[in-house]
Amino acid sequence: PPLYKQRYQFVKDLVEKYKPKKVADLGCADCRLLWMLKFCSCIEVLAGLDISASVMEEKMHTLSPLPFDYLQPSERSLTVTLHHGSVAHKDPCMLGFDLVTCIELIEHLEESELKKFPEVVFGFMAPSMVVISTPNSEFNPLLPGVVLNRHPDHKFEWNQAQFQSWALEAARCYDYSVEFTGVGHPPKGMENVGFCTQIGVFVRKYPRSGGSVQYEKPTEAVYKTVFKAVY
């Protein structure tokens, strides 16, 4: 399967293993991952965030309930919400999530946004688990036609050491552990190149203290809600 499908499947497998109830996808683009996750029966709250409202709006209708959903109401409740905003800004609507996914997002961030990202995601949102994927530049020579970057909008592409030192530093600052994996295997005999897409899976070390404290962080709403569906 194409690489993007392998990335989505990686997230879906993780959801099926850890059964998070509330999942947020940052940089959700055309909502394809959210659409896939809507079929995971453990999920009760799904949220998407993107800085481009137009790319989200393209396919957001696919997140609406179908006639079948009304005829056969299921036991679980599911709320799907899409927000327009930046991962460089904190908004209380992103609090209380179990899993936050950032698939092929960080390489699109400006330097100033990337600097704020760890504090927003690990410090403020502080979910139990965070998944971050990004291209592995060491794999680029194996890709036909890739000279410098895989995509002109990429602000950077990191090798394994660069991604891992950034991730380890974020994990250390905000009390997470991190494990590295990926999708897209290198050819036999070239294992040291690493995966085509590198992935960090972060797990918060300590449980959130005192139940509702997280919801009381005094932060003003800055994201704009562009879609909401209740199943």
Q: Where on the chain is the footprint of ligand SAM (CB under 6 A)?
A: 4, 7, 26-29, 32, 49-52, 55, 86-88, 103-105, 108-109, 113
Q: Which stretch of DSSP H or E encloses residue 57? A: helix 53-59
Smallest separation, CB 70 to ligand SAM (Å): 29
Task: Tell me how far, at minimum, the Cβ of 151 lies from ligand SAM, in Å.
Answer: 7
Whose Cβ is closer to ligand SAM: residue 4's or residue 69's?
4
Short-list 67, 14, 10, 73, CA closest to 42 = 14
CA distances to 73, 97, 123 from 80, rounded to whole Å, are 16, 13, 24
Shortest Å, Cβ 49 to ligand SAM: 6
Q: How far is the CB of 32 from ligand SAM (least distance, A)?
A: 6
Q: Pick from 34, 152, 178: which is nearest to 103 by CA? A: 34
Task: Decide whether 78 or 102 has the Cβ nearer to ligand SAM.
Answer: 102
117 vs 231, which CB is nearer to ligand SAM?
Answer: 117
Q: How far is the CB of 4 from ligand SAM (least distance, A)?
A: 6
In the complex, least distance from residue 26 CB atom to ligand SAM, rounded to whole angstroms: 6
How far is residue 59 CA from its own chain's centroid? 18
Closer CB to ligand SAM, residue 91 or residue 104? 104
Q: Which is nearer to ligand SAM, 29 or 63 (CB)?
A: 29
Element (H, E) at 180: strand 176-183
Minimal CB distance residue for ligand SAM: 27
Which residues does residue 131 pair with via DSSP β-bridges, in sequence order?
101, 201
CB-based contacts of 180-189 (< 8 A; 24+ apart in sequence): 182/133, 182/136, 183/3, 183/6, 183/7, 183/10, 183/133, 184/3, 184/6, 184/139, 186/139, 186/142, 187/142
Looking up tokens 């100033």 gives: 112
Of the two residues 50 and 157, which places its CB atom closer to ligand SAM in the complex?
50
